[in-house]
Amino acid sequence: MRDGDESPLRRGAAAAGGVVGLLVVWQVLGVTEVFGTSIAPVTEVVEVFGTPRQRSVVVDAALATAGKAVRGFAWGAAVAALLGGLVVLVPPLRRGVDQLATIQSAIPFVALGPILLANLDRQSVPVGMAACTVFFTIYTAVVSGLHSASPAVQEVFAVFGSSRRQRFVRAHLPAALPVVATGLKVAMPLAIVGTVIGEWFGASKGVGPLLLTTLRNYQMPMMWATASATVIVALALFLSMAVVERAAAERFGASS
């Protein structure tokens, strides 16, 4: 019991130590200009967040990107869940859908941009890109999870003459939720990456345009502050999905 109580503290201390170590290395590289002036010291990045006007610009951009990422994540998850459930209920469809999902995941993000731009308006491209980047991960988790129900549970339902729909709802779906929650957690940061890349195809607001603007004007502290804000947003969304994952595991973990 004592070791279990100390374990979270140890993990927290290790994580804090890693963050501090990263910041120290970052500061040293920035101050010594080992790679020139392209790496802004941590102190200069902090100054950006300490300046109200600059902080407002960075925070507004990060929140705009987060909003588009969440919408794209929701669309990608919905399509993945729909197709994942469909191939489990109708097994002959699985091979074809699996191949299509694999092909979609193999298309480079940069190549997806023009395709989405040809079919969506510029402001919707980041949302579409986010949906594309999370689709395969969530689809794989859904299909894997729906097949994770234990044979013993399936045999019980078969003995009682349950229909395919009843087995799906009462056996496969509860067993799938912990696996799906893990897939959602893994996919969430990908939504941020996809959104930022999508914003480079003409979005007027968000992290993507701000990164490009600061890079062109060689505003390195502002650029690194924007990147840091993006990491913080991605981490916050990841942790929110981790809470969902833990709740699903505690509630439905025994179902598998």
Same domain, 112 and 27: no
The band of 82, judged by pLDDT with boundaries at 50, 70 and 90, is very high
The band of 14, judged by pLDDT with boundaries at 50, 70 and 90, is confident
Same domain, 103 and 163: yes
> Is the model's pLDDT at 88 over the cut of 90?
no
- Is 49:219 a contact under the CB 8 Å cutoff? no
Same domain, 92 and 105: yes
The band of 66, judged by pLDDT with boundaries at 50, 70 and 90, is very high
**Amino acid present at 225:** A
Residues in Cβ contact with 66 at an 8 Å cutoff, skipping those fewer than 6 apart: 192, 233, 237
- pLDDT value, residue 256: 43
Same domain, 101 and 157: yes
Same domain, 142 and 74: yes
The band of 146, judged by pLDDT with boundaries at 50, 70 and 90, is confident
Same domain, 204 and 241: yes
Q: Per mean pLDDT, which of 11-15, 201-205, 218-222, 251-255 is the most reliable?
A: 218-222
- pLDDT value, residue 1: 42
Residues in Cβ contact with 169 at an 8 Å cutoff, skipping those fewer than 6 apart: none
**Coil vs helix vs strand at 186:** helix
Same domain, 23 and 108: no
DSSP state of 254: G
Number of domains in the chain: 2
Give the mean pLDDT of 89-100.
91
Distances in Å between the alpha carbon of 56 and those of 37, 97, 201, 210?
24, 44, 23, 12
- Is 55:48 a contact under the CB 8 Å cutoff? yes
Same domain, 207 and 246: yes
Same domain, 244 and 171: yes
**Amino acid present at 242:** A
The band of 246, judged by pLDDT with boundaries at 50, 70 and 90, is very high
Domain housing 3: 1-39
Same domain, 162 and 144: yes
DSSP state of 34: T
Angle between helices 109-119 and 173-199 (to 10 degrees): 80
- Is 66:235 a contact under the CB 8 Å cutoff? no
- pLDDT value, residue 155: 58
Same domain, 77 and 5: no
Same domain, 25 and 85: no
Furthest-apart CA atoms within the chain: distance in Å = 73
CB count, 10 Å around CB of 191? 32
DSSP assignment of 11-76 equals HHHHHHHHHHHHHHHHHHHHHHTTTTTSS--HHHHHHHHHSHHHHHHHHHHHHHHHHHHHHHHHHH
Rounded to an integer, what distance in angstroms lies between the CA atom of residue 65 and that of residue 138? 21
